[in-house]
Chain A
């Protein structure tokens, strides 16, 4: 389970993927023998009994946005692990500010891929030893190798793969290519596209340019987080054919200007009804009918469906001409530099718990994905797994986490399977080199 039971082989100097992988398989078999019964369909309450005694009195503070750091997950973890998980929700901006200005007040920093880049530049983190992560092999190759379904994952924007590896336990800088030490452990991820009201729009939407279609003037909304919203705008403009971007995730000043100017023109024409910055706003805009089409997060679509209102997540797979594609994002957990001793061990237990299945099943029912589907699978009914991960038609009524029906028998999840979505990523959430300029121009758009 932890390093004490690992076969006493000197750790390889270089991260030889194959060798490590087989070593891990051996380790996993050994671990599975002890906890196999716990994982295979029996309530997870049996998870590391042996550990509970050691970590009494430890509290881990896990801070991040509320869609990644969910209270129920923390409570379950506390129950299973025997020590306290204290979760705190702040919005994106406040949490990264907290990590930077008050680092000792945080133990586990929950961040997006691009925020990891920022945090690493500030020297806030310590490296995560991938050998201590039991399910490392189970992590989808999107993250570990940057290749998925035979294709290289898009490098527009900041993909998790490119920020995931670091040079050592000191975590001094980000290193390209697979290494032993990680900067963060992905815990939840998804691909964003557009959401729309099929009853109001009247046809299928599968292209980003529909967001700026004049037919929807006054009925569209865009995301108001500058470094993400601008990418949605870029997708729309590229889809309409205005220009082709070099890297939507790292635009030149000229590209930024073109994008913002187009946005300002649209705003002046009254195209955008609103721009939203919280999940709740996006759901309300769609549910109340104020807006027919908007950039949207998948769970927001689920929330609208829960209210009995039709809402579809536009499948914007990459077309043969190279246009369209989803915008991917990923949240993960990092260890703050100051963790050591017993607390550090507890942190590793916590990280491993995330990959043990309960969390994976939980987030799946909200429409997110876990990086380790094979353990999540064990905590869901096979019909659920087929629906959420494999994109198959529902064999039973699919219920939300609160028990509300959201998928009728035979319905297919928007965007199809995980594989379909993630081999169609056009760009990842990002922060650009010209960030300061971009934020200023974005504010000009807002003030227009």
Chain B
């Protein structure tokens, strides 16, 4: 019966794209990661020297620590913001059209290219910028705050600015599927709003939160140009180091670095999905 093959057919398009545009290029990347680089040449070989160099280098550790720090801060901020924004939109806005409208208002900035939006933070955070001018005028500070720009603060700020939407959308999705009856029932039963939040809403939004976390963490760990621009070149990231290697055609080390990052992130996400066991929720009993 065709029904038996239906799942295969349904999975086929996705599989085709993954094979051609992910699996095949990655095979190339893995192969190159075992090559040797000599000056500007890439010599086919089979050597672990690239991996060895990366894994034994202190630079690698400090880069990863930095990115993990950024990722953690961005995750925390975007989670808090994303959760409460979604909560507001789902449970407090009465008119459905208004809710959708407000939601879309949140997404409009994302249709302006990220590069432009990053650059547009400069006039806000600069010494002569909006924030400093306002604070000076209000008399809250005497000297312009230079820490606003080209620092860890500006990097995380940019990350939160650019990536919170990826937390809002899955959480919004999860929340909007919560049966309102549960809400009412809990309140009928005497639970406070806070308890309802903790015991009803949070567990049911878990998958959305995990989804959003995966997105945000992946985006931050894989970034190379936000950190370059917003830190004023003051920080490097794992991927920006790869970028520098590629500039002088040092492909094997860059490839090895890419494979290592890939493995680390994949393991991390695999663990996260176990927490919620996303696929378990999905699979029906045959």
Q: A residues bordering B, Cβ < 8 Å?
A: 92-93, 96-97, 100, 117-118, 121-122, 218, 221, 224-227, 267, 272-277, 280-281, 284-285, 288-290, 431, 433, 435-436, 439-440, 442-444, 446-447
Contacts and interface: CB of A to CB of B under 8 A. Distances in A.
Contact of B247 (A96, A274, A284, A288): A96
A276 B233 contact: yes
Interface stretch (B34-42, B80-88, B265-273): B34-42
Contact of A435 (B126, B127, B234, B248): B248
Given A221-B232, A272-B234, A276-B233, 7 more contacts: A100-B249, A118-B248, A122-B40, A274-B234, A290-B149, A439-B244, A446-B235
Contacts of A444: 58-59, 62
Interface residues of B, number: 37
Given A122-B41, A224-B233, A435-B250, A443 B128 contact: no
B57 interface: yes
Given A122-B40, A274-B150, A275-B232, A290 B247 contact: no
A325 to B, nearest CB: 24
B236 interface: yes
B127 A288 contact: yes
A446 B233 contact: yes
A439 B245 contact: yes
Given A121-B41, A436-B250, A275 B234 contact: yes
B247 A273 contact: no
A193 to B, nearest CB: 20
Given A226-B244, A442-B244, A97 B249 contact: yes
A272 B236 CA distance: 15
B147 to A, nearest CB: 11
Contacts of A96: 247, 249
Interface centre among A117, A218, A280, A435 (most CB of B within 10 A): A435
A64 B240 CA distance: 21
Interface in B49-75: 57-59, 62-63, 66
Interface in B150-206: 150
Contacts, number: 100
Contacts of A290: 126-127, 149-150
B262 to A, nearest CB: 19
B278 interface: no
26 contacts: A92-B247, A93-B244, A93-B247, A97-B247, A97-B249, A224-B228, A224-B233, A225-B247, A226-B247, A273-B146, A274-B233, A275-B232, A277-B228, A284-B122, A290-B126, A290-B149, A431-B40, A435-B39, A436-B253, A439-B250, A440-B57, A443-B236, A444-B62, A446-B234, A446-B240, A447-B62
B50 to A, nearest CB: 10
Contacts of A285: 232
B128 A447 contact: no
A173 B160 CA distance: 50
Contacts of B228: 224, 277
B211 to A, nearest CB: 31
Contact of A93 (B39, B40, B246): B246
Contacts of B259: none
Given A289-B128, A447-B235, A447-B236, A118 B249 contact: yes
Contacts of A225: 247
A281 to B, nearest CB: 7
B215 interface: no
Contacts of B119: 280
B243 interface: yes
B239 to A, nearest CB: 12
Contacts of A446: 233-236, 240
A118 B40 contact: yes
B241 A443 contact: yes
A290 B235 CA distance: 18
Given A93-B243, A290-B127, A439 B248 contact: yes
B261 to A, nearest CB: 15
Contacts of B236: 443, 446-447
A149 B62 CA distance: 49
Contacts of A276: 232-233
B229 interface: yes
A446 B253 CA distance: 18
B223 to A, nearest CB: 15
A331 to B, nearest CB: 16
Contacts of A118: 40, 248-249
Contacts of A281: 229, 232
B63 A447 contact: yes
Contacts of B62: 444, 447
Contacts of B63: 443, 447
Contacts of B229: 281
Interface centre among B41, B58, B229, B233 (most CB of A within 10 A): B233
Contacts of A93: 243-244, 246-247
A335 B180 CA distance: 68
A334 to B, nearest CB: 15
B232 A443 contact: no
Interface string B202-243: 000000000000000000000000001101111110001101
Contacts of A443: 59, 63, 236, 241, 244
List 4 tightest A-B contacts by C-beta distance, closest first: A274-B232, A275-B233, A93-B247, A446-B236
Interface centre among A121, A284, A290, A446 (most CB of B within 10 A): A446
A277 B233 contact: yes
A447 B231 CA distance: 11
A93 B245 CA distance: 9
A279 to B, nearest CB: 13
Nearest to A276: B233
Nearest to A224: B233
Contacts of B150: 273-274, 290
A357 to B, nearest CB: 34
